[in-house]
């Protein structure tokens, strides 16, 4: 399959408006029927530094970012020097005529002549990009009207005039960039990034309380819940710190709210005592952790898959949990719904493990099928008196009835110390053993509903790539390229990494000639987990931990290096 994609990278300093250009262009592409994968690379500062907004687009499906650049929009000279080695053979570089550098395929843009004010520079850049890609101008006209209509007709018309002027200038100064192939899709789709999809999945499941402390790259989960959830009765609270945030969530859940706590590695580290409290009190809570490199502050705005062990072992003592690792936007939505349902069914903390790349990566997706979602599990809201009610009653599957305080004439007690069935503190060691066994029996429920890994490619492959989370797209593209070259290659992707059922994957592992784990951390945390659970030892591990997402080219290069 030939690569029909165009990789557009917009680079500059924070504050120069590269996100505005990228958002406009990616919206227009989706509306015109194209596929997109957006990757955003930004430094941890308010202004300055070097940031990029990359859009890989095609009329055909695109799965991952790409290293080679076809169109480089350089908002400053540094962008050219940093990315010149990545330019493809057909690459075009757009830059203001004042930026000094030499290139045969450079388009010197006289922005000062094309725009009445500096604030219109982004609109002029869009006009040039639209002409280079041969996109219909109407998509951009509509976006300009939608975006600026609140500022008045005069502002709308000024932007359209600038767009048209830049489009015409680009036609006159054509550098013969090959047009992107026409899109064939006509149905309406959504342009969402991973954190938006997690927020929508939470709302679909009935989440109505979110407490958080802002931390990149998780904050936009809370912001989207606030923006979209207010009319659904959602209450959001920005706490004074992460310890307060998790304990607010536990209090709200005890009172009957359906809760989600978004955070990132450093914030979650502070929440771990609350995780244990949820386990002991059997309080439903969902954590959405967006990973970034660590330890400590690490690279706070870059991507990684290095918090798997943190979530797997967070908290003290033993209690059950499930960890979901979505690989695309659809999985962000549906797995969040599942985590919310499972938290209530099992009355224990559940985890969504995403990362900065997926959190900020826009894609075009079909509207979610809300009719396919069953009602999520709810606590017992009955008000009938129950003199025999015991919050921690012994049951066969370990799940006790969960009534809510204030819903009837019965006493609801929660206790962080070991407790009796009616919730009172105890130091009866036999009761402690019984209670620990009761809580762990819930693991059987989790094992019954494990999301099995997906297998794509040859059934008995020479090479099997194993991945979890956002590495999915790059691994699938790498496998496709290797199959085109004659190899028998498959990818197995885990969207749930704990608990595991070896019956779902061990036969596939053992049938492959070579099994390679692909992970965004230094040690191969998932490969170690699989070895611990099954005894299976991978042949190789391809590990990336420079803060950037995987690409197919990166995986293939490392495969050749480790062969």
Cα–Cα distance measured from residue 262 to residue 224, given in angstroms and rounded to the nearest whole number = 11
CB atoms inside a 10 Å sphere around CB 151: 11
Instruction: Report DSSP state, residue 419.
Output: B
1, pLDDT greater than 70 = no
Strands (E), 215-345: 235-238, 259-264, 285-291, 323-324
Collect all residues with Cβ–Cβ distance below 8 Å to 371 and sequence separation of at least 6.
none
pLDDT in tens, 171-191: 998 777 899 999 999 999 999
pLDDT in tens, 232-259: 999 999 999 999 999 999 999 999 999 9
The answer to whether residues 520 and 503 touch, using CB atoms and an 8 Å cutoff, is no
Q: Give the pLDDT of residue 195.
A: 98
2, pLDDT greater than 80 = no
Q: What percent of the chain has pLDDT over 70?
A: 100
Going by pLDDT thresholds of 50, 70 and 90, the confidence category of residue 419 is very high
The overall average pLDDT reported for the chain is 95
pLDDT in tens, 299-357: 999 999 999 999 999 999 999 999 999 999 999 999 999 999 999 999 999 999 999 99
Dihedral sign, Cα of residue 411, residue 417, residue 419, residue 424: negative
| Element (DSSP H or E) covering residue 330 | helix 329-346
Cα–Cα distance measured from residue 309 to residue 166, given in angstroms and rounded to the nearest whole number = 51
- pTM reported for the whole predicted model: 0.97
Mean pLDDT, range 285-305, rounded to an integer: 97
Q: Give the pLDDT of residue 174.
A: 72
The answer to whether residues 470 and 327 touch, using CB atoms and an 8 Å cutoff, is yes
DSSP labels, 339-383: HHHHHHHHTSEEEEEEEHHHHH--EEEPPP-GGGPPPPP--B---
384, pLDDT greater than 80 = no
Q: Give the pLDDT of residue 6.
A: 97
Between the two ends of the chain, the Cα-to-Cα distance in Å is 25
Cα–Cα distance measured from residue 44 to residue 215, given in angstroms and rounded to the nearest whole number = 12
Q: Give the pLDDT of residue 388.
A: 87
Location of structure tokens 């499941």: 205
Going by pLDDT thresholds of 50, 70 and 90, the confidence category of residue 46 is confident
43, pLDDT greater than 80 = yes
Q: What percent of the chain has pLDDT over 90?
A: 88
Q: Classify 469 in phi/psi space as left (phi over 0), alpha (psi -120 to 50) or beta.
A: left
Location of structure tokens 């979110």: 210
pLDDT in tens, 72-117: 999 988 999 999 999 999 999 999 988 887 777 888 999 989 988 8
The answer to whether residues 290 and 264 touch, using CB atoms and an 8 Å cutoff, is yes
Cα–Cα distance measured from residue 374 to residue 379, given in angstroms and rounded to the nearest whole number = 16
Q: Give the pLDDT of residue 292.
A: 98
The answer to whether residues 262 and 241 touch, using CB atoms and an 8 Å cutoff, is no
Spatial strand order of the sheet with 349-355 comes to: 235-238, 209-212, 259-264, 285-291, 349-355, 323-324, 496-498
Q: Give the pLDDT of residue 105.
A: 82
Cα–Cα distance measured from residue 552 to residue 473, given in angstroms and rounded to the nearest whole number = 8
The Cα-based distances of 282 to 339, 400, 430 in angstroms read 15, 9, 19
């Amino acid at each position: 399959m030939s690569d029909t994609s165009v990789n557009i990278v917009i680079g500059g300093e924070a504050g120069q408006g590269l996100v505005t250009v990228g958002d406009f262009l990616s919206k227009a592409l989706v509306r015109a029927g194209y596929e997109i994968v957006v990757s955003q690379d930004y430094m941890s500062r308010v202004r300055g530094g070097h940031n990029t907004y990359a859009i890989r687009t095609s009329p055909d499906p695109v799965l991952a970012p790409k290293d080679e650049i076809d169109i480089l929009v350089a908002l400053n000279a540094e962008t050219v020097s940093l990315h010149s080695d990545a330019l493809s053979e057909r690459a075009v570089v757009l830059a203001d005529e004042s930026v000094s550098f030499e290139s045969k395929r450079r388009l010197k843009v006289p922005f000062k002549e094309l725009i009445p004010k500096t604030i219109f520079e982004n609109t002029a850049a869009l006009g040039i990009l639209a002409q280079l890609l041969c996109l219909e101008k109407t998509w951009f006209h509509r976006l300009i009207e939608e975006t600026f209509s609140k500022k008045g007709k005069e502002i709308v018309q000024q932007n359209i005039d600038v767009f048209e002027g830049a489009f015409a200038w680009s036609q006159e100064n054509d550098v013969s960039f090959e047009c992107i192939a026409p899109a064939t899709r006509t149905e309406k789709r959504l342009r969402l990034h991973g954190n938006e999809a997690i927020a929508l999945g939470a709302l679909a499941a009935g989440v109505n309380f979110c407490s958080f402390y802002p931390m990149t790259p998780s904050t936009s989960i809370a912001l989207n819940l606030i923006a979209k959830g207010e009319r659904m009765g959602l209450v959001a609270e920005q706490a004074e710190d992460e310890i307060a945030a998790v304990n607010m969530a536990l209090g709200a859940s005890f009172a009957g709210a359906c809760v989600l706590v978004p955070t990132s590695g450093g914030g979650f580290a502070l929440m771990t005592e609350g995780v244990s409290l949820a386990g002991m009190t059997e309080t439903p809570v969902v954590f959405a952790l967006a990973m970034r490199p660590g330890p400590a502050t690490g690279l706070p705005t870059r991507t990684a898959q290095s918090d798997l062990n943190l979530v797997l072992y967070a908290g003290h003592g033993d209690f059950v949990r499930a960890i979901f690792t979505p690989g695309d936007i659809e999985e962000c939505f549906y797995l969040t719904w599942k985590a919310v349902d499972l938290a209530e069914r099992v009355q224990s903390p559940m985890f969504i493990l995403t990362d900065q790349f997926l959190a900020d990566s826009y894609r075009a997706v079909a509207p979610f099928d809300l009719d396919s979602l069953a009602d999520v599990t709810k606590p017992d809201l009955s008000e009938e008196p129950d003199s025999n009610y015991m919050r921690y009653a012994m049951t066969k599957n370990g799940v006790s009835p969960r009534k809510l305080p204030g819903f009837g004439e019965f006493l609801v007690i929660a206790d962080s110390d070991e407790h009796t069935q009616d919730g009172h503190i105890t130091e009866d060691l036999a009761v402690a053993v019984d209670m620990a066994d009761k809580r762990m029996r819930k693991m059987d429920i989790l094992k019954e509903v494990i999301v099995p890994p997906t297998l794509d490619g040859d059934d008995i492959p020479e090479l099997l790539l194993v991945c979890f989370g956002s590495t999915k797209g790059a691994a699938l593209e790498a496998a496709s390229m290797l199959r085109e070259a004659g190899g028998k290659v498959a990818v197995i992707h885990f969207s749930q990494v704990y608990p595991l059922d070896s019956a779902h994957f061990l036969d596939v592992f053992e049938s492959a000639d070579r099994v390679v784990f692909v992970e965004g951390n230094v040690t191969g945390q998932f490969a170690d987990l699989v070895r611990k659970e099954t005894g299976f030892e991978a042949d190789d591990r391809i590990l990336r931990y420079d803060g950037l997402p995987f690409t197919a080219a990166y995986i293939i290069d490392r495969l050749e290096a480790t062969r």
